[in-house]
Structure 1
Amino acid sequence: MIGTRLRSALLALSVAAGLAGTATSAEATPAGALSCRGVGIDPATQLHYRTETFIKAPAAAVWELHTDVARWPAWQPAVTSAQRLDAGPLRPGSRFRWTTPAPPTPTTPATTLVITSTVGQLQPGRCVRWTGPAIGDGLRIDRGVHVWTFTPVRGGVLVRTEESWTGEQIEADPATAIRYLAPGLDAWLAALKTTAEAR
């Protein structure tokens, strides 16, 4: 039952790969994991994925696009709303809330996942890390940890991202969960690349 519900709901929340929420104290970064100011994904989780893409655009422009959270719905089709919960540039302690739809499954109605994100670490133009839950009817990811790095390279910027998920519901079927986490991050990077390169 959890497997069927999970497969259906996680497909719709592939963009929720950008989860966020409450920042915690520094955690050890797994070997080879991405980090922002020395802090990476949740080292204890079995559910994590990492990907990257080259974007042929100025690093500053890509950073600005990515960290302008309130404008995410304009370029990310699966983000239906996004609201900053504080003013000013994104910084450690910044909070934002965003939503993404999840379709009905055989055991749950269609729902909207509400994701409340808190930035834990940030180095302007270089990296950002946020954490938090995604909550909807019939589906809950207790904690997502998402790290993004932006490295200027010849002709553009190399954007890397890594995310981990924890929670009883998704940990009950890790093989299914990871199959949806990966395409979610890939889709987010593809949208970022397409939008940044079109500017």
Structure 2
Amino acid sequence: MSSRLRGTAVPAVLLTLPLVAGLLGAAAPAGATPRAAHSLTCRGEGVDPRARIRYRTETVIHAPLRTIWKLQTDVERWPTWQAPVTSAERLDHGPLRTGSAFHWTTPVPPNPATPATRLDITSTVRQLRHGSCVRWTGPADGEGLHIDGVHVWNFTKVRGGVRVSTEETHTGPQVDANVPAATEILRQGLEAWLSDLRTAAEARAHREAH
């Protein structure tokens, strides 16, 4: 799962989801990927085809693939380059691989329906191809809020860098109650994640080159 709210006001029905990212659905915002079009996969598996909340986006990062992959898969160091991630802990050891699990948290700001709380996310890697793709799934829980997420990342070398593509789906009673708003929150989260990853990777690449 992913999510970053960055102070965005959220409708009460959603109970605010700051660190949850990626989707589309009915009345999705402009620019969202159509539901059945070109879903990302990793080793043949993709996001939840039944989810009403879905978003996909991508960016080109001007840094070596090894640098980007290291940042993305060194889960316990996420808080050093992603402010919305307040803690991250691997539940196993060694390089991230199929079956690896990790627990991470993000604060959830107050809204008219709920007090400020924390979103607790436990993600399990289901598929991974080193330097190419990773897919994880897992629940995210906060006070009065439950989300099941599926998140896919693809990494493709291109001229001058790497194209990083990501897609995520969410399901759950609170988010399904307001698909357009939940999709917009997911959009903001995924776009912020990619922006932070690009900034961190390009800065590291610059340091290593000098």
Q: TM-score, normalised by structure 2?
A: 0.84
Partner of 1:4: 11
What SS does structure 2 have at the residue aligned with 1:115?
strand
Matched, 1:16 2:10: no
* Separation of aligned partners in 1, 2:76 and 2:47: 24
Deviation per CA, 1:57-84, whole angstroms, max 9, x where unpaired? 0011100110000000000000000000
Matched, 1:92 2:98: yes
Q: Which amino acid aligns with 2:86?
A: T
Among 136, 155, 171, the residue aligned to 1:150: 155
Normalized per residue, the structure richer in helix is 1
* Separation of aligned partners in 2, 1:170 and 1:7: 6
Name stretches of at least 5 consecutive residues in structure 2 with no aligned partner: 1-9, 23-34, 205-210
Among 80, 86, 110, the residue aligned to 1:80: 86
The structural deviation recorded for 1:4 is: 3.0
Deviation per CA, 1:41-65, whole angstroms, max 9, x where unpaired? 0001111000000000001110011
The structural deviation recorded for 1:161 is: 0.1
Partner of 2:65: 59
The structural deviation recorded for 1:128 is: 0.2
* Separation of aligned partners in 1, 2:115 and 2:196: 28
Q: Which amino acid aligns with 1:195?
A: A
Partner of 1:70: 76
* Superposition pairs of residues 37-52 of structure 1, within 5 angstroms: 37-52=43-58
The structural deviation recorded for 1:105 is: 1.2
The structural deviation recorded for 1:140 is: 1.6
| Number of equivalent positions | 183
Matched, 1:195 2:200: yes
Identity over aligned residues, as a percent? Answer: 59
Matched, 1:137 2:143: yes
Q: Which amino acid aligns with 2:92?
A: D
Matched, 1:173 2:178: yes
The structural deviation recorded for 1:107 is: 1.9
* Separation of aligned partners in 1, 2:20 and 2:175: 13
Name stretches of at least 5 consecutive residues in structure 1 with no aligned partner: 19-28
* Separation of aligned partners in 1, 2:135 and 2:81: 21
Q: Which amino acid aligns with 1:159?
A: V
Q: TM-score, normalised by structure 1?
A: 0.88
Partner of 1:32: 38
